[in-house]
Structure 1
Amino acid sequence: MDSGNLAWSVAATALVLFMTPGVAFFYGGLVKAKSVVSMMMLSFGAMGLVGVLWILYGFNMSGISETDGWTFTFSGDPFADFALAGANSDTLVGATFGATFAIITVALISGAIADRAKFGAWMIFAGIWATVVYFPVAAWVWGAGGWIYNLGAAFGVDYSVIDYAGGTAVHINAGAAALALALVLGKRVGFQKGMHKPHNVPLVMLGAAILWFGWFGFNAGAEGTFGLLGTEDQAVGTIVINTLGATAAAIIGWIVVEKVKDGKATSVGAASGAVAGLVAITPACAALTPGWALLLGVITGAVCALSIELKWKLGYDDALDVVGIHLVGGLIGTIYLGFFATGTGLFTGGDATQLIMQVVAALAVLVYSFVVAYVIGFAIEKTIGFRVKNEDEIAGIDTVVHGEEGYALVD
């Protein structure tokens, strides 16, 4: 890696790491004032724990064997040399970049269990889920021997599943786990539409802005760090214009639906629309022309604005709409490529093969993540308990769980 790419890779890594505090702000503003510390600590806890696990063994688990798509290979004793001793700068920067993806994927899940989760139980879940779900799935999708990475060969074509930056490995993965935990922990006390309003809308907007800012590292960072598309400037240009365009269009799609449905376009809706657009363009940023990216954004913003209503109709308490934004948005962005991916989409020069591969990959990750997350969460709930007491939930869990208040007003 030349010095320019190396410098950009370090910068992109910092941008993506900054996204997890962005998630903390976004989620923190959406909960009630007496739960904001707890909510933000779920993200910061993930930063600490998953960062350590990635260095110990997660990076090696994501580098799947080229000869066996189901067996993980380790380059050394992870507890003796931390798996990365003696690696060169390129490898170490690449490993750090990958760590930021693992961290934010785990942090995203926490929004589904806002206001009612024990911090210690969450940390246990985060460590186990990262180990048995995220690390293997990252290997499936991006590892040279991963079965999803090589799905094209199984179909007899010279291309494969498109997931440039994490539609399956990050968003569908996290969204499916979020749905599982929402079912395990059950509904919040007084669960009904309009039960809580965001306690700090500016914090929500700040979090969304940080996410959009960092997402340019999320999407364009892989180009400089791993050289996935070669050295052509056009590849980077496509990625960054699509990251802007799809996100902007998703804001429009969301607030139009809000206006039609509820009579008002809200700032929280605009922020949520931006995040939904970012989710959808993640797998597709390098494989769409800008016009198709704009269409993807509008569709995703509108559909996600409608899909967040499902929890009230179906009765699962996804507190901060991780399912409605990340699972639904990830599915839309991943499957959309089957229709409009440049050169291989059903309507852009290809046939149904790309579409079938995208659906297979999306459903496989969804089912695997949901089932394993449900089993882990259920086991934790039935042993040490995952959910706080009802009276603590009603009072607000910051002081009970962390002994702190988000807003300490003094004379």
Structure 2
Amino acid sequence: MVGTCTALELALRGHRVTLVDRRAPGRETSYGNAGVIQREAVEPYAFPRDWPTLISAALGRRLDVRYQLGGLWAAAPQLLRYWWHSAPRRHRAIGRQYASLIAHATSEHQRYLALAGAEGLVQRQGLRLVYRQPERLEQALHQAERLAAEYGIAFAALDGAALARAEPAFQIPLAGALHWLESWSVSDPGALVERYARLFQQLGGRLLQGDAGSLRQQGASWQLTTQDGPVEAAQVVVALGPWADACIRRLGYRLPLFVKRGYHRHYKGGASLAMPTLDAERGYVLAPQGASLRLTTGAEIARIDAAPSPSQVQGAEAEARQLLDLGQAVEQTPWLGNRPCCADMKPVIGPAARHPGLWFNFGHGHQGFTLGPASARLLADLMQGDTPFVDAQGFLPARFGA
């Protein structure tokens, strides 16, 4: 989503753009998420700082976060910085910067949706978080009231009876739900990226297959090898999601990037839901996706190339089957993808310090699908020397000396 939107935004502004990817657009991270454009996500996911949560996560008792030892060790320096930035005072300051982009998430997607003729893929019912324990629901509603007051986002509260009427497929009684009203959902996330890529090509943009590992500086320009031969340009944008770190390391940049992996699986023949639903106390999402229901997991800390670990998705499926009739799994093997995360929870958007013509747009964590168009607009403003439509300081690579 981020790379395709970057190419599209620059093409919309009249630039000649070549989008190079090793696969077709929308086949990696953006293909496998829950398909929610999260207008409510004004504050990024913080690292837990209370001992009960940390201990239960360390012992593998939580579904929302799992880890593999090799990946945990490799990411330890970045995770320590993530923990440091998640202190309440720092997290609130980060949230104010983060919210400036999230505020434009749906409006910037709407601009692309209209141009691409893709509005049929989008539903605007919101995002529902369901709770099993009354005290957890009360805490969530209290937090929602704060966010609504500070950022002007709308929500509704449902008690157990109202939730049962809204979602009669639930098989167990629940305490209630928090319904974020302004978030959107997409019935096929990969298809939406494909639509944006098609619009990019209709504007004259070139889409080529190649490997970013071949990127090199050639005098005053940049060169990349593709299946159609070498491509050369005065400016290049690295928008490689979880593979950005490997690319920029070859150029001498060390940023606090790490990967959170996630799994999904589809189910047919069972119950459906009115909208994407987060089982907030168990840490998985159920989202209607065409004729099936997609289950997506929380975060797994592991190396990007580590073998899949089935425990998280199996645990989420077991919990979901208590909640409603899932039906039969469609895929024999769950899908696995990688989220590109940065230790201070904000994306990296802007110019590289030591290489003229090199630009970064990555590190969006859980919100690349949400923030693709808004991030693209900010980067295009910076590349053209225009006044950024939001304050760019908190997102620049320069915050890390890069």
Say which structure is richer in helix: 1
Say which structure is richer in strand: 2
- TM-score bin, normalised by smaller chain: under 0.3
Q: Could you state the TM-score of these two structures normalised by the residue count of structure 2?
A: 0.24
Q: Could you state the TM-score of these two structures normalised by the residue count of structure 1?
A: 0.24
